[in-house]
Amino acid sequence: MRLSGRAWVFGDNVDTDQIISGKYLTLRDPDEMAKHVFEAARPEFPSGVRKGDVIVAGKNFGSGSSREEAPVVIKRVGISIAIARSFARLFFRNAINIGLPVLECKNYARIVEGDIVEADLEAGILKNMTRGDTFPASKMPKFLLNMLETGGALEAYRRRHGES
Amino acid sequence: MSVRAAEGGKHNVLHPGDIVVLPVDLAMAQDSTGPLAIKVIREMGIQKLWDPSRVHLVIDHTYPAADEKVANLHNLIREFVREMGCRLVEGSISHQHLLESHVVPGMILFGADSHTCQGGAVGAFATGVGSSDMAAIWATGKIWARVPESVKVNLTGKLEKGVFARDIVSHFIGRVGEDGGNYRSIEWKGPAVKTLSISSRACISNNSMECGCKLSVFEVDEATRDYFKKVNRKPLMEVHAGPKANYVKEYTIELDELQPQVAEPGHVDQVKTVDEMEGQHVDQAFIGSSTNGRIEDLAISAQILKGHHVKAGTRCIVTPASRLVFEEAITTGLAETFLEAGAVFTNATCGACVGTHLGVLGENEICISSSPRNYVGRMGASSAQIYLASPATAAASAIEGKITDPRKYL
């Protein structure tokens, strides 16, 4: 799985309430919720994000709540992959389950807002195409990679049960 | 974990990083995560849950419903419970309800709520997951998990007057940072553990989530055994760390030296001592949440508020963690003390902590809260500021309308 896009750069400890505030969870419709993604932290994000864009963040991205809507809204606005120094464990699980690719890379800080990056999930490599850098990144266990390639846990379940 | 993982698949000795399949004893979702789990399980085409008696749906985040949307979500949950024959709980915070009524040592508990790790207080394997994971558990009774590295926290000495379990865990989060426990299992050990009540341990295990941990565990001891005798529930098994247990990190906290702690707005790890924050004006003091809404929290708050009045221009909201705590607060006279002091005493709900009702903050308002999170916009307006502290510090601050050292009132 190879994904590339334009980077939106975030700092450390971006919590789930920053991604989608609890008060919007009752909207239920992911498109409605997605209008409020990063509302307080990056008000320009919902209108500026383009399909295929990439999130690049520091450590502990998605900390806090178990709300699955956090990766859901990120995926819904068109983000192709979230790259971070590290992910909070709940966000990591939820992201894979809903089919949002995630990659951990220690060299995240060498990506600047607007850079074009390319992530290779099988090889565990992150490239900064704008600056010509290549960095080692995390490798995902095969069964999780398969789940992502299928589009998430629900899709994987449907395929196993021949309902797709 | 090894022993129980063996039931779920073919595992022998486990090491951190191993992926295992665990059999789940109890699976919980609440009114914020439950509707999505229900949607997923419907999309999976599941007609029958793996074991409805082990599936608990708890309406706690906004109870009773604060608006029409929430009311409809609650009804969706009730309908699902009727159809599937699983368990419904209304009006107690899930973690406290499970501690009061279901969790036992050795149990494997998964909850679609991050603070599920509270169950570690009594030696259960307890952690949070999202809605899709929860739906998968409802369908199969199993879940994959990565074996976590362990961290040991050695507690020594004894807490001074005015310093509480919340101050221990706040101090720890400040020390290790918001991600200091990410993916890890925290084990609370040392001679001071025996001085901590089960409720205090629950506060610590619950709030440990704020450094990202997967588990936050107290080994079963005499206090745990006494507790389960008293509530008449039989432990499944006692899990103790062996002499060869490996820890990636070890910490010691000398309780005698600990001061009341306050976390500054925005991040849970921006922790200072109360004297560094004293004098900061507050519009609201919130005492409650699954972290600090137990009877011992309400009792110390009432002791501080007794004979005083909440400062004009400041609101004080007291929200118990469960129906049982609510009832006990009434029968023991604590509720009366809160009302006499001019505080608002609400039913049990997550309420103000999750910013849904009963204490939502308006623009630029400042709150001191015993709840677990001070994220931007957590309790309402994005411009509102949340300081985190023990219930005692919140109560003392309510009296003065500014952040106040609780030791003044004890």
Q: How far apart are CA B356 and CA B361, in angstroms?
A: 10
Instruction: Please check whether residues B60 and B163 belong to one and the same domain.
Output: no
Which candidate from B19, B136, B182 shows the least CB-CB separation from A89? B182
Residues 6+ apart with CB under 8 A from B83: none
Residues of B in contact with A67 (CB under 8 A): 32-33, 130
Q: How far apart are CA B174 and CA B263, in angstroms?
A: 8
The CATH number given to whatever domain includes residue B177 is 3.30.499.10
Q: How far apart are CA A42 and CA A48, in angstroms?
A: 10
Q: How far apart are CA B406 and CA B198, in angstroms?
A: 22
Question: The tokens of B262 are what?
Answer: 């306050």
Q: Which residue of B has its CA nearest to A142?
A: B19
Whether A25 contacts chain B with CB within 8 A: yes
Instruction: Please check whether residues B234 and B106 belong to one and the same domain.
Output: no
CA B214 to chain centre: 13
| β B284-288/B271-273 pair status | unpaired
pLDDT at B1 over 70: no
Evaluate whether residue B2 is within a structural domain. Answer: no
Q: What is the DSSP letter of B361?
A: B
Instruction: Please check whether residues B230 and B123 belong to one and the same domain.
Output: no
Cβ–Cβ below 8 Å for B267 and A13: yes
Instruction: Please check whether residues B168 and B277 belong to one and the same domain.
Output: no
Where along chain A do its domains lie? 2-160
Instruction: Please check whether residues B130 and B217 belong to one and the same domain.
Output: no
Evaluate whether residue B403 is within a structural domain. Answer: yes
What per-residue confidence (pLDDT) applies to A160?
Answer: 86
Residues of A in contact with B70 (CB under 8 A): 26
Nearest-5° angle of CA B149, CA B255, CA B293? 80
Evaluate whether residue B9 is within a structural domain. Answer: no
In this structure, of A134-143, B123-132, B296-305, B397-406, the range with the lowest mean pLDDT score is: A134-143
Question: The tokens of B53 are what?
Answer: 């008696």
Interface with chain A: mutation pick from B31, B58, B182, highest number of A CBs within 10 Å? B182
Q: Give A56→chain B minimum CA distance, Å.
A: 17
Cβ–Cβ below 8 Å for B132 and A153: yes
Length of chain A: 164
Residues spanned by the domain of B166: 149-239+247-257
Evaluate whether residue B318 is within a structural domain. Answer: yes
ipTM value, please give it. 0.95
What per-residue confidence (pLDDT) applies to B162?
Answer: 98
Instruction: Please check whether residues B47 and B106 belong to one and the same domain.
Output: yes
What per-residue confidence (pLDDT) applies to B143?
Answer: 96
Residue range B254-268: mean pLDDT, rounded: 98
Instruction: Please check whether residues B176 and B198 belong to one and the same domain.
Output: yes
pLDDT at A164 over 50: no
pLDDT band at A40 (very low <50, low <70, confident <90, very high): confident
Q: Determine phi and psi for B226, rounding to 5 degrees.
A: -60, -40
Instruction: Please check whether residues B162 and B293 belong to one and the same domain.
Output: no
Instruction: Please check whether residues B290 and B373 belong to one and the same domain.
Output: yes
In A10-97, DSSP assigns E strands to 54-57, 81-84
Q: Determine phi and psi for A22, rounding to 5 degrees.
A: -55, -30
Q: Give A163→chain B minimum CA distance, Å.
A: 9
Instruction: Please check whether residues B318 and B203 belong to one and the same domain.
Output: no
What per-residue confidence (pLDDT) applies to B11?
Answer: 55
pTM for this model (two decimals): 0.96
Question: The tokens of B25 are what?
Answer: 């004893």
Q: Give B154→chain A minimum CA distance, Å.
A: 24
Q: How far apart are CA A75 and CA B10, in angstroms?
A: 35
Q: How far apart are CA A119 and CA A111, in angstroms?
A: 12
Please tell me whether residue B23 adopts helix, strand or coil conformation.
Answer: strand
Residue range B282-295: mean pLDDT, rounded: 98
Interface with chain B: mutation pick from A89, A145, A161, highest number of B CBs within 10 Å? A89
Whether B36 contacts chain A with CB within 8 A: yes
Number of H helices, E strands in chain A: 7, 7
In this structure, of A150-154, A160-164, B220-224, B323-327, the range with the lowest mean pLDDT score is: A160-164
pLDDT at B5 over 80: no
Instruction: Please check whether residues B31 and B104 belong to one and the same domain.
Output: yes
Long-range Cβ contacts of B226-231 (<8 Å, 24+ apart): B227/B122, B227/B198, B228/B104, B228/B105, B228/B122, B231/B100
The label of the residue with tokens 């190879």 reads A2
Q: Does B8 or A93 have the greater pLDDT score?
A: A93
Q: Determine phi and psi for B221, rounding to 5 degrees.
A: -135, -165
Evaluate whether residue B22 is within a structural domain. Answer: yes
Q: How far apart are CA B405 and CA B410, in angstroms?
A: 10
The fold of the A2-160 domain, in CATH, is Aconitase; domain 4 (3.20.19)
Instruction: Please check whether residues B132 and B193 belong to one and the same domain.
Output: no
Q: How far apart are CA B263 and CA B98, in angstroms?
A: 28
Domain count for chain B:
3
Q: Give B82→chain A minimum CA distance, Å.
A: 22
Cβ–Cβ below 8 Å for A154 and B19: no
- Domain-ending residue, one of B102, B129, B146: B146
CB pairs under 8 A between A and B: 112
Evaluate whether residue B6 is within a structural domain. Answer: no
Helix ranges restricted to H, B209-261 = 222-230
Cβ–Cβ below 8 Å for A154 and B40: yes
Terminal-residue alpha carbon distance, chain A: 21
